[in-house]
């Protein structure tokens, strides 16, 4: 049997293990790299979601960006507006790109499931398309943890592909993926079950700029943790 070897990426601090032991999302997004950013750069709905957030955040807010990818557009927009951004991604390639492209933000290579999150420590949390390679139980559990990580009045911006599928094997931009998601109304229900108030939701169709891409539904949900202590702005 071939021995399994680990190596450390010196730029990101990630421990990179053999392919069969790595999280599926890390394998996919290491392969895609900056191609992912190019494919989704024209998403007006994503930019509108960021504008929604930026209009409501107090100056110098602390923001957690889950599945931060290349750092663009999310971390770049938030850090560019003077907010303190912590980006978390399981892909060392993505973390290296993001650290180079958005040096004013902080990025760590980690699995968000095992990362300690202090209750009430963020003014906002962004989760743009970072849930799709998790089980439904993992998705619901993570949203609950992220809700607790928000300060009272803190904001959640979440985007996903709202499909009623579980363990679906497909191809995304030339990469084999196994996707699990919820129908749109169930995504909203997961956010509400985490104790958050849903403030708005938008459903759009989007076609990534890639030869293998097909039109896909996108759902953007914005929510708030109720409370008056500290916290972000109102509607």
Query: How confident is the prediction for the chain on average, in pLDDT?
Result: 89
Phi, psi torsion values for 44, nearest 5 degrees: -70, -35
Domain assignment present for 179: yes
What is the reported pLDDT for 213?
Answer: 82
Domain assignment present for 196: yes
Domain assignment present for 207: yes
Express each pLDDT in 150-163 by its tens digit: 999 999 999 999 99
Domain assignment present for 180: yes
**Integer angstrom CA distances of residue 136 from 74, 183, 184, 223:** 24, 11, 13, 20
Domain count, the chain: 1
Whether 101 contacts 41, CB under 8 Å: no
Whether 68 contacts 74, CB under 8 Å: yes
Find the CATH number of the domain harbouring 215.
3.40.50.150
Express each pLDDT in 78-131 by its tens digit: 999 999 999 999 999 999 999 999 999 999 999 999 999 999 999 999 999 999
**Integer angstrom CA distances of residue 56 from 49, 83, 84, 215:** 11, 12, 15, 31
Domain assignment present for 9: no
Distance CA 220, CA 89 (A): 20
User: Domain of 163?
Assistant: 24-58+122-225
**Integer angstrom CA distances of residue 235 from 53, 123, 130, 184, 199:** 10, 15, 25, 23, 8
Show the 3-state SS of 164-180.
Answer: CCCCEEEEECCEEEEEC
Domain assignment present for 80: no
Domain assignment present for 198: yes
Predicted TM-score (pTM) of this structure: 0.87
Domain assignment present for 14: no
Q: Percentage of the chain with pLDDT > 90?
A: 75
Express each pLDDT in 16-52 by its tens digit: 434 445 577 888 889 888 998 999 999 999 999 999 9
Structure tokens given for 60: 């110098």
């Amino acid at each position: 049997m071939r021995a399994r070897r680990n190596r450390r990426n010196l730029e990101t601090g990630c421990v990179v293990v053999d392919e069969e032991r790595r999280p599926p999302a890390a394998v996919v997004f290491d392969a895609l790299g900056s191609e992912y950013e190019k494919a989704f750069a024209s998403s007006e709905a994503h930019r509108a979601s960021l504008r929604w957030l930026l209009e409501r955040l107090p100056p110098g807010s602390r923001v957690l960006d889950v599945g931060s990818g290349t750092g663009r557009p999310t971390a770049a927009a938030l850090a560019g507006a003077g907010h303190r951004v912590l980006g978390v991604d399981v892909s060392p390639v993505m973390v290296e790109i993001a650290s180079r492209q958005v040096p004013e933000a902080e990025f760590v290579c980690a699995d968000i499931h095992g990362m300690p999150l202090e209750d009430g420590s963020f003014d906002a949390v962004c989760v743009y398309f970072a849930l799709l390679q998790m089980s439904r139980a993992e998705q619901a559990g993570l949203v609950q943890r992220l809700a607790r990580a928000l300060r009272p009045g803190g904001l959640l911006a979440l985007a996903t592909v709202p499909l009623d599928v579980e363990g679906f094997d497909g191809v995304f931009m030339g990469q084999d993926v196994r996707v699990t998601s919820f129908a749109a109304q169930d995504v909203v229900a997961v956010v509400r079950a985490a104790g958050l108030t849903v403030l708005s939701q938008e459903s759009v169709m989007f076609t990534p700029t890639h030869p293998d891409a097909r039109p896909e539904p996108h759902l953007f949900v914005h929510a708030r943790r109720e409370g008056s202590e500290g916290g972000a702005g109102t509607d």
